Structure 1
Amino acid sequence: MSLQPFKSIAIGAAFSPNLKANLYEAARLSLFFGSKLFLIHVGEASDDKIKTLKVFLNPFKKDNLDFEVVFKPGDPVEAILSVTDEKNIDLLILGAVQRERFIKYYVGSIARKITRKAKCSVLLLIKPSVERVACQHIVVNGLQDPKTEQTIKAAFYLGKQLEADKITIVEEIKQEQVAIKVDDDKSLRRANIMKERIKLRENSRIKEIIEHIPEKYTKDIAIKSQPIFGKQGYSIGHYAQISRADLLVMNAPSKMTFWDRLFPHDIEHILTELPTDVLILQ
């Protein structure tokens, strides 16, 4: 496992009310990970804009924050994606939008398009803060997938760098795996026995992944394995919400087709209603 998965971090720097909070979050993460920070502004360069950004980041000067401002005129989605390619960005930070009349967060249309197309990892922030709010509980997907082992390893790296107290690995199990029609006590018992066997199998798989992670990333953190039967994407999002997780870490989806967007699943459920800050790992 790389000791520095995010060598370069970028953030979309739009001059919005959340700009200061977003920049503070990005600067802190850059320092935590020892990364260079790129501020991407979609628009023409100007001395006033550069001055404003430098003033916001002035408190991090004493920590030797390494940052660069990049101006890119054009379509916001294409501009930001092209800079992430040109600068070999490992992690792109995007602010999500609050729906005014509801206590819910959702990804704006620009951020959603970028998230779907980005070749790098994406962190979606729903509640950026100027003052640091400690990341105490990280939830990470443990579904059976070739990308999952690396995703879990990255979650433990994050937990170590952010000094989190707890990591919960959620294994989403499709209901179809318990293919028993329950219509009496006997079939109910059979279904429950099958569920327990699946849970044991999943917990064993996750335990093996954790055993391959260096001890320095696992020794000072509470680890929980949580199998859940339900719809992938929706179940883990709901769990992250009710357990008040500070960060949800997910595998990036495979290339999505028209049908994936027509019938939402996995990551699309998360993008529709963000339960907390979400990191989608490539």
Structure 2
Amino acid sequence: MYKKIGVAVAFSPRCEAIIGESARLQKLFDASLVLIHIGEVKPDEKTYLEELVQAADVNIEKVKFVWEMGNAANQILSVSKKEKIDLLVAGALQRETIVKFYFGSIARKLIRNSECSILMLINPAVPSKPLKRIVINGTEGISNVNIITRGITFAKMEKATQVHIFKGIKLFGLSMALSGEEESEQQQEETRREIVGQEIEEINKILSDIDTKGLKVNVKVASGKSGFELRKFTERVKADLLIVSSPTHKLNFFDRLFPHYMELIMEDLPSNLLIDKS
């Protein structure tokens, strides 16, 4: 699924945990690993990083160290492109401040501009643990089949115990369907249930063509702002990972003023976040 994993490394208290999680993923996907550090590196820091890699029991022949100077986000993106990385792993704050929300942290810039899939870790732990509770966003229109298929593949590799497919319904469409003045409350409720049933049937039809053996898969349909409802649901089921497809366009300032669902997710990450770009 991912054959070359890049890791944005900073010498922070979470460095060991991020290296450990990346090493686990390297083994899971049988991938090569590219460790990227932007900034000056002291000899003792380089030795420390090498020791962390050895402690994580990584095949050192599949590890490459890249040291660069300059703007952190820009250089990480540049190295990712040059090395043909297909999954970039980085740490992120769970909740960003208003200042960071409007001017952008390194993590946010990576999410907006990365040409590869990106995994944001909010609570990497030592020792690294498999991601057992997974939510897949199935509100992606024409890309639904692809993201659900890849999400299920990821979940099977992780041997997940719970997989939720989330499908959001826009309030406008639901309101239009229920706007008949002559309908009683009971009839409106029946109409609502019919719409929800159709959405569940659509997801189940996609799942019928995917090998889900060994997984417990649940389909959840909710109305409202898709980003807000998706974030709330992910928190409620205490998911370890939320999987979404990469936006079809690069997020910009207007997406922050009139939030794209990804902006609502990034404002307060409900779990680790995998943005898959297949």
TM-score by length of 1: 0.88
Question: Does the 8 Å contact 2:23/2:58 carry over to 1?
Answer: no
Question: Does the 8 Å contact 1:7/1:34 carry over to 2?
Answer: yes
Partners in 1 of 2:13 and 2:26 — Cα distance? Answer: 22
| Shift of residue 61, structure 1, vs aligned partner | 3.4
Question: Does the 8 Å contact 1:50/1:69 carry over to 2?
Answer: no
Give the alignment partner of residue 237 of structure 1, picking from 231, 235, 246: 231
| Shift of residue 53, structure 1, vs aligned partner | 1.1
Q: Deviations over 1:203-236 (max 9, x none)?
A: 12111211222x3xx1111011111111011111
Q: 1:109 corresponds to which letter in structure 2? A: S
C-alpha RMSD over aligned residues: 2.3
State the match for 1:201 in structure 2.
Answer: 198
Give the alignment partner of residue 9 of structure 1, picking from 2, 5, 11: 5
Moved more, 254-263 or 223-232: 254-263
Q: Which runs of 5+ in 1 are unaligned?
A: 102-107
Question: Does the 8 Å contact 1:140/1:167 carry over to 2?
Answer: yes
Q: Deviations over 1:109-153 (max 9, x none)?
A: 111011101111111111101113332211001114222211111
TM-score by length of 2: 0.89
64 and 110 in structure 1: CA distance in 2 versus 1, 3 angstrom threshold: closer
Q: Deviations over 1:163-196 (max 9, x none)?
A: 1112110101111112234989x44333322222
| Shift of residue 276, structure 1, vs aligned partner | 0.7
Q: 1:53 corresponds to which letter in structure 2? A: L
144 and 77 in structure 1: CA distance in 2 versus 1, 3 angstrom threshold: closer
Give the alignment partner of residue 169 of structure 2, picking from 138, 160, 173: 173
Give the alignment partner of residue 220 of structure 1, picking from 196, 214, 226: 214
SS at match of 2:242: strand
Alignment of 1:139-150 (within 5 A): 139-150=135-146
Question: Does the 8 Å contact 1:143/1:172 carry over to 2?
Answer: yes
Partners in 2 of 1:245 and 1:79 — Cα distance? Answer: 31
Q: 1:85 corresponds to which letter in structure 2? A: K
252 and 100 in structure 1: CA distance in 2 versus 1, 3 angstrom threshold: closer
Question: Identity, % of aligned pairs?
Answer: 33
Q: Which runs of 5+ in 2 are unaligned?
A: 98-103
Question: Does the 8 Å contact 1:232/1:265 carry over to 2?
Answer: no
139 and 65 in structure 1: CA distance in 2 versus 1, 3 angstrom threshold: farther
State the match for 2:23 in structure 1.
Answer: 27
Give the alignment partner of residue 150 of structure 2, picking from 136, 150, 154: 154
State the match for 1:190 in structure 2.
Answer: 187
Question: Does the 8 Å contact 1:165/1:221 carry over to 2?
Answer: yes
Question: Does the 8 Å contact 2:19/2:56 carry over to 1?
Answer: no
Q: 1:11 corresponds to which letter in structure 2? A: V
State the match for 1:281 in structure 2.
Answer: 276
Partners in 1 of 2:168 and 2:105 — Cα distance? Answer: 27
Q: Deviations over 1:71-92 (max 9, x none)?
A: 1111011100001100111111
State the match for 1:105 in structure 2.
Answer: none
Q: 1:253 corresponds to which letter in structure 2? A: P
Q: 1:274 corresponds to which letter in structure 2? A: L
Question: Does the 8 Å contact 1:250/1:279 carry over to 2?
Answer: yes
| Shift of residue 160, structure 1, vs aligned partner | 1.3
Aligned pair count reads 269
